[in-house]
């Protein structure tokens, strides 16, 4: 059942920005398989650390873990290769394909912490068509929760960040969206973190629709 933590924004938006994992597709099974194997290989506590990886760039997680003797850049490249090879169980969030297809191609972007090659691989595995504008891990020097990626996404679409609605699921991404000055729609399909409290929320895309008004602004409406 779809849930709304806060009323849908009545204002119109110039563009929509979407995180990828957990927001328009789910790759949790593949991600956690790869990361679990990597953590066990380094003698790390999988149960304690696995919940902390979501929504952030792999390189930032590697640096935060600071495993003695580990080269974060080299390990991030190794992990990327493993993730490229494992796309089992990757699926779109329910209703996402139709919702994204209903949007003007020049009015939305994917803004993800994944490297571009992995983002394209996962979107293809989920049956989603990548938009012309994507912001990926390589495009910013500071990953989420810094707002840089969303600021860049808005810039590439030629709109102000405060005129964007950002669809996110993870705490780091929600914090980045807030820091960018944008409105947030929290997607709870894969988990419902309390960091999204106070924002509008949807479980998936089946009960919402996108429309545009006479001025061309985009709106999200409930089908209920």
Cα dist from 132 to 19, 105, 186, 197, whole Å: 15, 7, 23, 31
Catalytic residue among 21, 86, 148, 169: 21
- pLDDT tens for 162-176 read 999 999 999 999 999
- pLDDT tens for 14-49 read 999 999 999 999 998 888 899 999 999 989 999 999
By C-alpha distance, which of 155, 159, 162, 165 is closest to 186? Answer: 165
| Domain spanning 15-27+90-222: CATH superfamily | HAD superfamily/HAD-like (3.40.50.1000)
Residue 193 annotated in active site: no
For residue 4, pLDDT beyond 60: no
**pLDDT at residue number 193:** 64
**Banded pLDDT at 224 (limits 50, 70, 90):** low
* Spatial distance between the Cα atoms of 54 and 221, rounded to a whole number of angstroms: 28
**pLDDT at residue number 153:** 98
Q: What is the DSSP letter of 50?
A: G
- pLDDT tens for 144-160 read 999 999 999 999 999 99
Cα dist from 192 to 22, 83, 118, 127, 199, whole Å: 11, 24, 25, 24, 12
**pLDDT at residue number 96:** 98
**pLDDT at residue number 45:** 92
Strand pairing class (200-202; 183-187): parallel
**Banded pLDDT at 66 (limits 50, 70, 90):** confident
- pLDDT tens for 164-214 read 999 999 999 999 999 999 999 999 998 766 666 789 999 999 989 999 999
Residue 19 annotated in active site: yes
For residue 92, pLDDT beyond 90: yes
Cα dist from 119 to 40, 55, 80, 125, whole Å: 25, 13, 11, 10
Give residue limits of the domains in the chain: 15-27+90-222, 28-85
**pLDDT at residue number 90:** 95
* Spatial distance between the Cα atoms of 187 and 170, rounded to a whole number of angstroms: 9
**pLDDT at residue number 51:** 86
For residue 2, pLDDT beyond 50: no
């Amino acid at each position: 059942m779809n849930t709304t933590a806060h009323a849908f924004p009545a204002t119109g938006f110039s563009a929509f920005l979407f995180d990828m994992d957990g927001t328009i597709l789910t790759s949790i099974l593949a991600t956690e398989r790869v990361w679990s194997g990597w953590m066990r290989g380094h003698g790390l506590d999988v149960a304690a650390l696995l919940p902390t990886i979501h929504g952030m760039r792999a390189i930032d997680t590697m640096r935060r873990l600071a495993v003695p003797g580990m080269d974060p850049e080299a390990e991030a490249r190794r992990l990327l290769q493993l993730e490229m090879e494992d796309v089992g169980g990757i699926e779109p969030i329910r209703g996402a394909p139709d919702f994204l297809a209903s949007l003007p191609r020049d009015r939305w972007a994917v803004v993800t912490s994944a490297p571009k090659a992995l983002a394209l691989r996962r979107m293809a595995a989920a049956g989603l068509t990548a938009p012309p504008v994507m912001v990926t891990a390589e495009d910013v020097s500071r990953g989420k929760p810094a707002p840089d990626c969303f600021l860049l996404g808005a810039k590439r679409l030629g709109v102000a960040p405060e005129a964007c609605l950002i669809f996110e699921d993870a705490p780091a991404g929600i914090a980045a969206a807030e820091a960018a000055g944008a409105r947030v729609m929290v997607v709870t399909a894969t988990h419902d973190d309390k960091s999204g409290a106070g924002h509008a929320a949807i479980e998936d895309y089946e009960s919402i629709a996108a429309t545009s008004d006479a001025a061309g602004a985009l709106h999200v409406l409930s089908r209920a």
